[in-house]
Amino acid sequence: MPEKSLDYPHSIKLRYVKLGYQYLINNILTFLLVPIMLTILLRILQSSPDELFSFYDSLSLTSIHIICSLFVITYVTTCYIMSRPRTIYLVDYACFRPPITCRIPFASFMEHAHLILSNEPKSVRFQMKILERSGLSEETALPPAMHYIPPTPTMDLAREEAELVIFSAMDSLLAKTGLKPKDIDVLVVNCSLFSPTPSLSAMVINKYKLRSNIKSFNLSGMGCSAGVISIDLARDILQQYPNSNAVVISTEILTPNGYLGKERSMLLTNCLFRMGGAAILLSNRKSDHRRAKYRLSHIVRTHKGADDRSFRCVQQQEDPEGKVGINLCIDLMQVAGDALKSNITTIGPLVLPASEQLLFLLTLICRKIFKAKMKPYIPDFKLAFEHFCIHAGGRAVIDELQNNLQLSAEHVEASRMTLYRFGNTSSSSLWYEMSYIEAKGRMKKGDRIWQIAFGSGFKCNSAVWKCNRTIKNTPIDEHNPWADCIDRYPVDIPDVVRL
C-alpha cells in the first residue's frame, strides 16, 4: 500500500507531462506563426501612412504585375478546388434483424451436433467447448435450412435466405432515407461464399426494378473484410460521377456453407457464424450534407496474399471425406496481427496527431539506427478516434486488438456486445457495432470512428468516418437492430458458459 501512495503522485505528474507534450507538439505551428503574425501586425500599426506608402512604392508594382498576380492566384485556387476529391457522405444504413423463429439456443445447437455427428463424440465435445468460450449468447440466429435435421442446404433455400436478409435490410434503408429505387445510381453487393447465377446484385435489381443503366457489382470470395472493400469500390465510382447515390449491401449466406464433417479446424465456423446483413446508402450530393450521418475520411486496405502462410490461413476446402468447409489455421491470430501492423503503419500518418507520430519516429530511429534495446512505441490511437468498430470475428480477435491497441473495455464494448447478441455476421458486423454506439447515444458531431475488418486472403482493411451530426437515441430508431434490447446492454460475458 505505501508504494502505491508514493507512485500515485508520480503517475499524475507523468500524465500532465504527457498532456503538455501533446498540446505543444500538436499546436507547434500555431505557437510559431502567432508571434510572427503579431510582430508584423504591431509593426504595421506603429508605421505612419507615409511609411506604408513609401514601402508600397519601393515594391515598384505596376498594374501588369497586379493583374498577373491575381490571375495566378485565381488559377491556382481553381485548380485546387477542381482537383479536390468529392466528399462522400454516409446518409444512413440499416441492419437485418433476424426473426425470433431463427433463434438458435445452445441446447438446440448441441442437439443438432449430437444427431449429425452421432458417431463422433469428440467432435461434439469440441464444438461444445468452443461454444462455451465463444462469447455468443442464446439469441443469435441461423437460417431455417440449418434448423432441419439433417440440414438441407439446397439452392432454393439459400436463395430464400438471401432474399430474407437482403430485402429486409433494403426495405429498412428505403424507409429510413425516403430513397426511391429509381434514384439508385450504383449498387454493390458482397457475399463471400454464395455466388449464384443470376447474381445477388441482379436479384436486387429485379426485386426493386432498378434502372437499366445502373452500375452494379457483385463481390464474392473476399471474406469478412469485403464490406470495407465494397465501400472503397463505391467511393471510387462516386468520385467519377457527380450527384450520384450508391447502395452497398454486405451479407453472408450460411445455408449452403454449414460444415457437416468432423475436422476441428473446420468446425469452428459452425460455432461462430450467424445470420446478418446490412444496407448502406452513400452519396456525393451536396444536398445530403445536412441529413447525412457520417463523412468518409479514409480507407486503407492491406493485402498479405503474397505470403503463402497468410494466403492459406483461411481457406474453403474439402476434408478427407470430401465434405466442404472453411478451414481456419492455428496461426490465424499471428497472421491477423501482422496484417494489422501493416495496416496501422499506413493509416497512422493519416490520422494520428503530430505528438504521436514524432514519438513513433524517434523510437524507430533509436531502434534501427542506434540499435537501442527498447520496445517499439505503440501509438495511442485513442487520441485519433472516439469510437472503435472491430470486426466481431470472435472473442480472441477482439481480445488481441484490445491488447495491441491498448483500448479500454468501453472502446471494445460495441464489438463484444455485437458478437454476443448477433454472433459473427461476417462483413456486416461493423454496422451492427455502429448501430450499438448510436443506440447508446454516444455518437456526437465531430466524433471519429475506426472500422477494422479482417478477411481471407489475408486482408486487413480500415475505414475512417467522421460523424456529421449528433445522433440522438431518443426515441430510438425502430429500424435499429438493437431497438428491442438496447436497455439490457452491456451485459457481463463470462469467460466460460457451462453447458
Active site residues: 224, 303, 387, 391, 424
End-to-end CA gap in the chain: 41
Q: C-alpha angle 276/280/285, rounded to 5°?
A: 180
Cβ atoms of residues 381 and 340 within 8 Å: no
Burial zone of 37 (CB within 10 Å; 0-12 exposed, 13-18 middle, 19+ buried): exposed
Cβ atoms of residues 464 and 448 within 8 Å: yes
Look up residue 366 and give its three cell numbers: 533509436
Q: Provide the H-helix boundaries in 59-105.
A: 63-83
Q: State the Cα–Cα distance between residues 27 and 455, nearest whole angstrom.
A: 38
Strands 186-190 and 314-318: unpaired
Question: 199 to each of 28, 219, 222, 231, 236, how far by Cα in Å?
Answer: 54, 10, 15, 19, 22
Cβ atoms of residues 188 and 247 within 8 Å: yes
Strand partners, 465: 296, 449
SS3 310: helix
Q: State the Cα–Cα distance between residues 169 and 163, nearest whole angstrom.
A: 10
Q: Which residue is it, cell 456525393?
A: 284
Q: State the Cα–Cα distance between residues 417 and 118, nearest whole angstrom.
A: 33
